[in-house]
C-alpha cells in the first residue's frame, strides 16, 4: 500500500512539471489607474527622469507638463519615444536630445511595456492636475 502511495505521488509531481505546464504564460491582471500612477511615479524617480524634468518648470529638460501638453496637442506617442522608437516632438536643443537618447539607451531599455505605460500614465496624471 505504501509503495502505491509513493507511485501515485510521483505521478502527480511529474505531471505538474510537464512541459505543457511550463510553457503556459500566467497573465497578470491589468494594473488599476492608481497602481499605474504609483508605479509611474516610482519609476520616474528611480530611472532618474526627475533629474532633468520637474513637473511644472524647466530644469535641464522641459517640464513634464510642457512635454505632455505638446504630445497631447500633436497626438504624439510618448511611450514610443521612451522606447527609442520615435523622435522627440518637444522643441529641444540637439544637446538635450543627445542626453535624452543616452538616458533612454541606458535607463529605459530594460523596463517592460507595462512600466513604460505606467510612466506615461503618471506623466499625464500630473499634467492633468496642473491644468
Res. 98: pLDDT tops 50? yes
Res. 20: pLDDT tops 70? no
How long a stretch of residues is the chain? 131
Q: How far apart are CA 127 and CA 131, in angstroms?
A: 7
Please report, rounded to a whole number, the percentage of residues in the chain having pLDDT higher than 70: 79
Q: pLDDT category, 87, cuts 50, 70, 90? A: confident
Res. 123: pLDDT tops 90? yes
Burial group, residue 89, by CB count within 10 angstroms (0-12, 13-18, 19+): middle
Amino acid at each position: 500500500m505504501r509503495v502505491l502511495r509513493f507511485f501515485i505521488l510521483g505521478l502527480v509531481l511529474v505531471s505538474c512539471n510537464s512541459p505543457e505546464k511550463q510553457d503556459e504564460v500566467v497573465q497578470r491582471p491589468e494594473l488599476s489607474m492608481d497602481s499605474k500612477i504609483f508605479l509611474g511615479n516610482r519609476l520616474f524617480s528611480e530611472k532618474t527622469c526627475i533629474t532633468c524634468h520637474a513637473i511644472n518648470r524647466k530644469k535641464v529638460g522641459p517640464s513634464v507638463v510642457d512635454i505632455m501638453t505638446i504630445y497631447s496637442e500633436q497626438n504624439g506617442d510618448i511611450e514610443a519615444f521612451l522606447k527609442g522608437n520615435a523622435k522627440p516632438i518637444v522643441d529641444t536643443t540637439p544637446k538635450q536630445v543627445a542626453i535624452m537618447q543616452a538616458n533612454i539607451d541606458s535607463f529605459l531599455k530594460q523596463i517592460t511595456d507595462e512600466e513604460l505605460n505606467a510612466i506615461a500614465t503618471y506623466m499625464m496624471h500630473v499634467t492633468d492636475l496642473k491644468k
